[in-house]
Copies of this chain bind each other. A is one copy, B any other.
Amino acid sequence: MISALQAPVRHLFGPGPSPVHPRVYEAMRQPIVGHLDPFFFQVNEEIRGWLQECFGTKNEFTMVISGTGSAGMECAVTNFVEPGMKVGIFANGYFSDRLTEMAKRHGAVVARLEKPWGQTYTDAEAQAFIQAEKPKLVAYVQAETSTGCYTPGDGICNAAHDAGALVIADCVTSLGGMPVRVDEAGIDIAYSGTQKALGCPPGLAPVTCSPRAVEYLRARPTPSVSWYLDLKLLLDYYENAHRYHHTAPISMFYALRESLAIIASEGLEKRWARHEANHEAFVAGLAELGMGMLVSEGERLWTLNTPLIPAGVDDLKIRKHLMANHGIEIAGGLGPLAGRVFRIGTMGYGSSPENVALLLSALKEALAA
């Protein structure tokens, strides 16, 4: 008899996955039902309602994709990019590069507005770019997991709509931890993942589409290249007809339902305030350790912090030390930020004064070691 899996306990303070509430683990142990069982659709309706609140939207077309956050991104691209289409991308981090790559694979002609990683855009910059390029689709990253930068996107959405374009926003690291404001900002297609500020294990990607996006989808002459991520087929499955599409990952839906029930019980605004307060406390503590931040004040994510690594400090040595001595996972920078920043998550169940204290004391010890 091969023995049962015994996973080690880690303190997950990287850019995700984030720590998971015990209630969520319990939910995953619940017995599965079939993917056409009325109980499953009941769970799914609860999820959809709570997701609307987290996204800040009244969009009926709000649902969950059976893949991780990256599948959410691919879902947005495959449903809204057609070959030859001009796509404008606000390129200020790793995930806008990934959007570029996916759009190109779908035959898009991509125009990019480059910014140094960690910076965001003024409304005037957004407007000038969109007016000059006249894209049919625009994409930006609201919560850039590679830089810790938040882009509200109102100016981008306004300029895009004036030009008759739809807008995709990557909200992977904001959903559940800070305001996403889909309706207020004017985002047409937003996607996220479960393993960040929602506090659920990775495995699903929430997606929402505005009525304007749905209209485009209904009128689109060709189907999306992806059948698995075809939003029209998914809607037929999850809504009225309940027409079989794929076998949804039931246990992950249970987990997401439970995460969202915890969020609804806490209250979204209280949850956002908790994230903000713990982020602020962490940034203040980092300053005491002599560490500044990559991103300017007011443009920072509350969920993911990117302190600058002090001169002479070895990125990898610190991270290995934290894992070996404290069981703490944090991440390093990607691309141009490799060796220049740490990426430290304070999100979901993990955003607490106790964890901020733990992180700061462990970092202090590691820097002195």
Binding site for B on A (CB under 8 A): 1-10, 12, 14, 16-17, 20, 23, 25-35, 37, 39, 43, 66-71, 73-74, 78, 98, 101-102, 105-106, 193, 195, 201-203, 223-228, 244-252, 254-255, 257-258, 261-262, 264-265, 329, 334
Contact = CB atoms under 8 A, between A and B. Distances in A.
Contacts of A249: 68, 201-203, 249, 252
Given A201-B249, A203-B251, A265-B2, A98 B227 contact: yes
A227 B74 contact: yes
Most buried by B among A9, A33, A244: A33
B7 A248 contact: no
Nearest to A69: B247
Given A27-B4, A69-B247, A224 B105 contact: yes
Contacts of A8: 31, 33, 39
Contact of A5 (B16, B227, B258): B258
Given A71-B228, A102-B227, A249-B201, A32 B4 contact: no
A68 B247 contact: yes
Most buried by B among A7, A74, A250: A7
A35 B332 CA distance: 14
A27 B9 CA distance: 14
Nearest to A266: B1
Contacts of A78: 225-226
A57 to B, nearest CB: 21
A151 to B, nearest CB: 21
A142 to B, nearest CB: 18
B31 A7 contact: yes
A251 B102 CA distance: 27
A230 to B, nearest CB: 9
Given A193-B247, A228-B67, A252-B249, A33 B14 contact: no
Contacts of A203: 66, 203, 249, 251-252
Nearest to A257: B5
A102 B229 CA distance: 11
B30 A10 contact: no
Most buried by B among A69, A105, A247: A247
Most buried by B among A25, A71, A228: A228
Contact of A7 (B17, B226, B252, B254): B254
Contact of A250 (B17, B225, B251): B17
Contact of A201 (B27, B32, B69, B202): B32
Q: What 7 pairs between A and B have smallest CB-CB spacing?
A: A203-B249, A70-B246, A7-B30, A2-B261, A201-B251, A202-B247, A74-B228
Contact of A34 (B9, B37, B247, B329): B329
B254 A252 contact: no
A329 B37 contact: yes
Nearest to A99: B227
B247 A195 contact: yes
B10 A33 contact: yes
Contact of A251 (B2, B224, B245, B255): B255
A11 B289 CA distance: 57
B4 A26 contact: yes
A268 to B, nearest CB: 13
